[in-house]
Amino acid sequence: MADELLIPKIILVIISSGIIGLITIARIKNRTGNQFFIIMIIFWSGVFLIAIRPELLDSVLNSTGLVNRSQFLFSVSIVIILYLLFTQTLKSKTSSSNLNRIIRELALSNFRKEIAVSNKKNADLIIIIVAQNEESTIGMVIDKIHSLNLPLTYQIIVVNDGSTDKTETIAESKGALVVSHYYNLGIGAVVKTGFLATKLLKPKIVINIDGDGQHDPKYIPEIISKLKDSNADLIYASRFAKESNYKTTVVRSLGNRFYTRLVNKIAKISLTDVTSGYRGIQFDKLDLILFVSESNFAIELAIRAGRAGLKIIEIPTLADTRISGFSQFNKIERFFLYNINAFRQIYYAFFLKPKMNYHMQ
């Protein structure tokens, strides 16, 4: 009997040792939070001990009524996963309630005062750049936009999501208007603030782009052309419509493909990159794509656009991996949370209306 269990023991020891090593490296690189790290270390250390001394688990099995050790370990792992997902969801829900509303209204109030004294003329095109701690790239992105021979008068708005570096200072030195959150609210919140700030300036076209340097501003003229000449309402700049330098993990690539296909089916649209952060929209259609989500929002936006009957066009773009900073998925537990948020976004798109009355008069 002992010989029969030798191979499973060795396999468990190797697996648990490997996971403990990987999770430790992830913690050292700040790719996981303390809570997730501690729980995973405790669990897989327990698996390691049980693999070496299986009899340690027998007394627990007798009290739980479970038939074998594998059932017990599976049950514990399910409980841990549910607990982590619950706590992460609770954090997300708490941080996106009244605190988000207060921070956004304060940011928009300050922005309203800024444009009142800036003597900036109304522009036909507003380019929204969202940024959080992007001091190494934000100036380059703005300079590339200024170097373009754009066919419309334009103004750049940088939405600074609680940066602790020089992002805001650099953006202002490059001539951009800046809307600043005093606290980091997340990707959905920062894009939403950008859209609402744009409503104060009433342009004809709105384009949003990330400040991390992965999207090349050189495609802005093409986006404008498609919006003007093709009667399109919404333009997506796709990273996956053709070969590009953009590299991501296998898991993220598969996830993007899955959710893109799901959204295409639900919203009756045809996209290759539903999570692209590079879009153009006719200003008079902006209210139709405003969303409820404060964290991940791309799925909800695309579904709202499809349900509203907007004419959506994709253009292929070459994109690079972000030049600096961290992705929103830099921590492992956020990947799990994203999948919960994805289905929440679908619910929001069908059953909730976004709040638009942020004193926009």
Q: What is the pLDDT of residue 361?
A: 47
Find all residues with CB under 8 Å of 170, minimum gap 6, and list them.
135, 138, 139
| The pLDDT value given to residue 233 | 98
What's phi and psi for 270, nearest 5 deg?
Answer: -135, 100
* Predicted confidence (pLDDT) per residue in 40-77, tens digit: 888 888 878 877 877 776 666 666 655 566 666 666 77
Give the C-alpha distances (Å, rounded to integers) separating 89 from 46, 105, 265, 338: 27, 24, 26, 10
- Spell out, as residue ranges, where the chain has pLDDT lower than 70: 1-5, 57-75, 78, 81-97, 243-249, 321-336, 356-361
Mean pLDDT of the chain, nearest integer? 85
Virtual torsion, Cα 48, 49, 54, 59, nearest 10 deg:
-130
* Per-state percent for the chain, helix, strand, coil, to nearest 5: 55, 10, 35
The predicted model scores a pTM of 0.74
212: Cβ–Cβ under 8 A, 6 or more apart, which residues?
A: 131, 134, 137, 322, 323, 324, 325
> What are the extents of the domains in the chain?
2-95, 121-351
Half-sphere exposure of 308 (CA within 13 A, CB side): 21
pLDDT reported for residue 48: 83
Q: Which homologous superfamily does the CATH classification assign to the domain defined by 121-351?
A: Spore Coat Polysaccharide Biosynthesis Protein SpsA; Chain A (3.90.550.10)
